[in-house]
Amino acid sequence: MNSRRHWLVSTADVGYLVNELGQWLVEISGTPEGARLATILALVSALAHAIFGALQKGRFDPWMTRGAIDGWLCVLSAPIALFVVPWPNAATALILAGAIVVHFAYKVTMALAYERAAYTVVYPVVRGTGPLVTVLAASLFFGEVFTPLQWLGVMFLSGGILLLAVRNLSEEVLDLRSLKLGLLWALAGGVLVALYTTYDAYGIRQSPDPFTFLAWFFFVTAFDFPLLATLRYRKMPVKPQLGPLMWRGFLGALIAWVSFGGVLLATRLDKVGEAAVLRETSVVFAALIGWFILGEKVGPRRLVLFGMVALGAIIVETGG
């Protein structure tokens, strides 16, 4: 009985701290302090997302990896959603229901793209398409205005990313049909990145407490792929080792909280378009991961393109 009472008190204390932090984030939203924190969160999110993408393209089937990640997201997010943060109100619950659909579509397109083309081709196409569409969507739905100089930065960043995909494409050895299918799914993934970034930004802004939205977002959007992965596992003639797969899923779930949580908080604190653009510097981190960890080649031309991406992000951040 005493241990149960102690657990309840501890949970209440954590809930109080989370609530205070959430209220502080709401208070600094739209201020210079909030803008600085949003920049930091977006860049940390970029690094985390590059690692997250590499986890899906590693030694395991991408459907299995995503299933393991989402399974751990359910497990890790459940106690926070159920016992720490407040339950969502009706409006937030409705938005979360829509997020389930949007993110399921995104995860399916990414798994299909990773199945058919190389990580260094798929990832740049997705991340290069996303910011262009997101900036347009943010201007339409949130009334955000980019200066001509910032638009130049967006063109540098997206152009550098897409040229990187073209450069990587020249070294592909997969058959042409697989490449075409992979690129089509990657383009669809880029559009869905813009869709979910805009939609989730609206959701976290509508929620009275940003951490309520975050905790429930990770909880409810992670039920689908563990079920798909289980069905796929049963049909596999050669089944992967579950131990290493589960460890990769656990690591991926922790990274997802940093990656997706960071950019969602950034869109709550400052402009959605700027957060989306800064996050796409993840392609530079992804290329380094592909080079050092996955054994993929990086040459001087790619280094120039990485410079374009970094320069574009700097222009967007300083040109407002």
Q: Give me the mean pLDDT over the 304-318 stretch.
A: 85
Q: How far apart are CA 161 and CA 123, in angstroms?
A: 9
- 136 or 203, greater pLDDT: 203
Of 195, 206, 198, the residue nearest 92 (C-alpha) = 206
| Least trusted range by pLDDT, from 95-99, 156-160, 167-171 | 167-171
* All residues at 6 or more sequence positions from 53 whose CB lies less than 8 Å from its CB, including other chains: 119, 123, 282, 286
| Least trusted range by pLDDT, from 40-44, 62-66, 68-72 | 62-66
DSSP 93-139: HHHHHHHHHHHHHHHHHHHHHHHHS-HHHHHHHHHHHHHHHHHHHHH
Predicted local confidence at residue 182, as pLDDT: 82
Q: Which amino acid is at 68?
A: A
Structure tokens at 121: 């081709």
> Is residue 259's pLDDT more than 70?
yes
Q: How far apart are CA 220 and CA 98, in angstroms?
A: 11
Predicted local confidence at residue 50, as pLDDT: 81
Q: Give me the mean pLDDT over the 141-170 stretch.
A: 85
Predicted local confidence at residue 56, as pLDDT: 59
Predicted local confidence at residue 12, as pLDDT: 66
% of residues, the chain, pLDDT over 90 = 38
| Least trusted range by pLDDT, from 79-83, 273-277, 301-305 | 301-305
% of residues, the chain, pLDDT over 70 = 90
The pair phi, psi for residue 214, each rounded to 5°, is -60, -50
Q: How far apart are CA 207 and CA 188, in angstroms?
A: 28
Predicted local confidence at residue 19, as pLDDT: 82
Give the start-to-end residue ranges of the domains of the chain. 2-318
Predicted local confidence at residue 7, as pLDDT: 47
If you average pLDDT over every residue of the chain, what do you get?
85
- 290 or 267, greater pLDDT: 267
pLDDT tens per residue across span 224-237 = 999 999 999 999 99
Burial of 117 (C-beta count, 10 Å sphere; 0-12/13-18/19+): buried
DSSP the chain: -HHHHHHHHHHHHHHHHHHHHHHHHHHHTTSHHHHHHHHHHHHHHHHHHHHHHHHHTSSS-HHHHHHHHHHHHHHHHHHIIIIISPPP-HHHHHHHHHHHHHHHHHHHHHHHHHHHS-HHHHHHHHHHHHHHHHHHHHHHHS-----HHHHHHHHHHHHHHHHHHHHHHTT--S-HHHHHHHHHHHHHHHHHHHHHHHHHHHHHHHSSSHHHHHHHHHHHTTSHHHHHHHHHHHH-SSPPPHHHHHHHHHHHHHHHHHHHHHHHHHHHHS-HHHHHHHHTTHHHHHHHHHHHTS-----HHHHHHHHHHHHHHHHHHH--
